[in-house]
Chain A
């Protein structure tokens, strides 16, 4: 039996978003990331690879966010709010 590995891109392809201009996620203090006390938990915990370490800072691809809230628990340096009304992920199957 062969099974196909589903990449995160494959998974996200099933989702529909209405992307806002402003991010609903942000880093409160980018200096803290330089000496991250959590060993970059945000990168490991996010199910959609929103957080990446690029050129000595965390970049946020907020348009892939499925709004699970894991990063909000993982790190207090991450600012989190629900996207503005009508924006963000829109589930077809609930």
Chain B
């Protein structure tokens, strides 16, 4: 990793200067782990408030939108001159009404599903790799024979029922 393009040894932009060498864990708890986003005199935005839509690789847009909504709430509070949690509660409401929490609510069961079904991170990527290898290997086998080998390999590693069940659950979660 340290020698890869992710963390380049050379500046990517000419005369570019590295200001800071940083990395950050992204919280992917989803809707059920969005904690209280407001208290007296404070609002929490972005990934600090768990506003990350991991399954769609989104987060920046949620951070920006939550920032806007927070600002609107603060402007309202400033007009009234009250920054109690009672006033700032409106921020949570705004989040719920926007795409931010609507989206997160839609995918609320996704994090739990994936943490209980590790085959999506181990078995399936491995299988995809191996099956594509078989398919494209030039070894004199006909495509028909290859297809047979792929099928037998696939069902050896994961039962038909398991595959169907995974497909069904994915559909239910994401559609």
Contacts and interface: CB of A to CB of B under 8 A. Distances in A.
Given A44-B1, A45-B1, A49-B2, A6 B24 contact: no
A91 interface: yes
Contacts of A6: 9-11, 18
B80 interface: no
B14 interface: yes
Contacts of A67: 23-25
A8 B2 contact: yes
Contact of A68 (B11, B19, B23): B23
Contact of B1 (A10, A70, A94): A70
B144 interface: no
Interface string A7-32: 01011101100000000000000000
A91 to B, nearest CB: 5
A10 B18 CA distance: 9
Contacts of B6: 47
Contact of A66 (B11, B18, B23): B23
A13 B133 CA distance: 44
B52 to A, nearest CB: 14
A69 B28 CA distance: 13
B61 interface: no
Interface in B3-53: 6-7, 9-11, 14, 18-25
Interface residues of B, number: 16
A63 to B, nearest CB: 14
A40 B22 CA distance: 23
Nearest to A91: B22
A6 B21 CA distance: 11
Contact of B21 (A4, A14, A70): A14
A38 interface: no
A24 to B, nearest CB: 12
Contacts of A12: 21
Contacts of A94: 22
A68 B20 contact: no
Interface centre among B19, B21, B25 (most CB of A within 10 A): B21
A33 B18 CA distance: 35
Contacts of B22: 15, 66, 89, 91, 93-94
Interface of B: 1-2, 6-7, 9-11, 14, 18-25
Given A11-B21, A66-B23, 4 more contacts: A1-B14, A5-B9, A48-B2, A68-B24
Nearest 5 pairs of A and B residues by beta carbon = A68-B23, A11-B21, A66-B23, A69-B25, A3-B10
